Each structure stands twice: as structure tokens, then as C-alpha cells.
Amino acid sequence: MTYTNVFTDKYNAATGAIVAVLTAIFGTYWYVFAAFLALNVIGWITGWIKANKKKEESGKVGAIGAVKKLGYWAAVLVAFLIASVFVHFGKDMLGVDLSFLNLIGWWVLAMLIVNEARSILENLVELGYKIPEVLIKGLAVTEKLIEAGIDILGTDDEKKEPSDDTGGKADR
């Protein structure tokens, strides 16, 4: 057996064990929770970098941010717990299938994933990265920076031609 085969076997065994544990804890769609966790970590890192760049680092603010992210996980837990209670109540007491209520948990998780992605994008914009307009159009930080006269889209580099709003009908 070569080193490559041994490494591959160990990698596959470790990855399989991790996926099995995540599936046991979070269910079939564990990867959605893993994505949320990854976004939490990336959001915390980009927030720390932003605070470092602005010279606003604070252990207290960092701790509040970490507790806030734990609160997000608590919200997901509560949402799925509420759904589970009602699903079981419907089945046991009412004889009604209320499994559609599991969507409550998935909706909360989806909204928090979107919120975390927005937070990361806001941090990147404030760090000076040029983010595609379609991703930052609705961000509050975008409006704040535009009002301050900061070019966040890199459009100042382009020479703009004056537009003719008449559509060529000015001579008529």
C-alpha cells in the first residue's frame, strides 16, 4: 500500500465519520447548518478585520458579537423545537399531519443565512472591496457610503458620456 492510498483511506474515513456525526445531529440537510456555521465564522473574521482596520477593536464588542451569533443558533433551535412540538401534538393529540410546520425552522435558518451573508458583504464594502452591484444594492452601508461620496463600485475610473434622454427625438 502506498502513502497516497493510506492517506486517501484515512481522509475518507475521517470525512465519512464527520458527515455521519453531522447527519446524526442535524439530519439529512446537515450541510445547510454547516453553511450557516461557515458564514458565522467568516462574518466574525470580516468583522474583526474591519474593526482592526478602523482601529476600533474591542474585546467587549467582539464578545457581544460572539454571543449574538450564539443567539442566532438559539433562535434556530427554538424554531425547530416549536415546529417539532406542534408536529408531535398534531400527530398524537389531533391525529393531523402538521409536518409542514417544520418549515418554520427552515425559514428561520434561511433568513439567518441571508442576514449573515449581508453582514459579510457589508463588512467587505466597508473594508474597501469592490463588490458587484447586484450583491450590495440593498445594503444600508451602501447608502451610507454613497451619501458620503465614496466610490464603492469603481465607476469613477470610467469616463461617462452625457446621456440624451430624448431618445433622438429632440429635433422633432
Residue type, 38: A
Domain ranges of the chain: 3-157
Q: How many CB atoms lie within 10 A of CB 38?
A: 12
pLDDT in tens, 112-134: 999 999 999 989 988 988 888 77
Give the pLDDT mean for 25-46: 90
pLDDT over 70 for what percent of the chain? 83
Instruction: Say how many CA atoms lie within 13 Å of 93 toward its Cβ.
Output: 6
CA 106 to chain centre: 14
pLDDT confidence of residue 23? 84
pLDDT at 16 over 60: yes
pLDDT at 37 over 70: yes
Q: What is the mean pLDDT of the chain?
A: 83
Q: How sure is the predictor about 82, in pLDDT bands with cuts at 50, 70 and 90?
A: very high
pLDDT confidence of residue 172? 38
123 in Cβ contact with 46 (< 8 Å): yes
Q: Is residue 46 classed as helix, strand or coil in its secondary structure?
A: helix
Q: How sure is the predictor about 12, in pLDDT bands with cuts at 50, 70 and 90?
A: confident
Fill in the DSSP letter of residue 155: G
Cell 478585520, residue located: 49
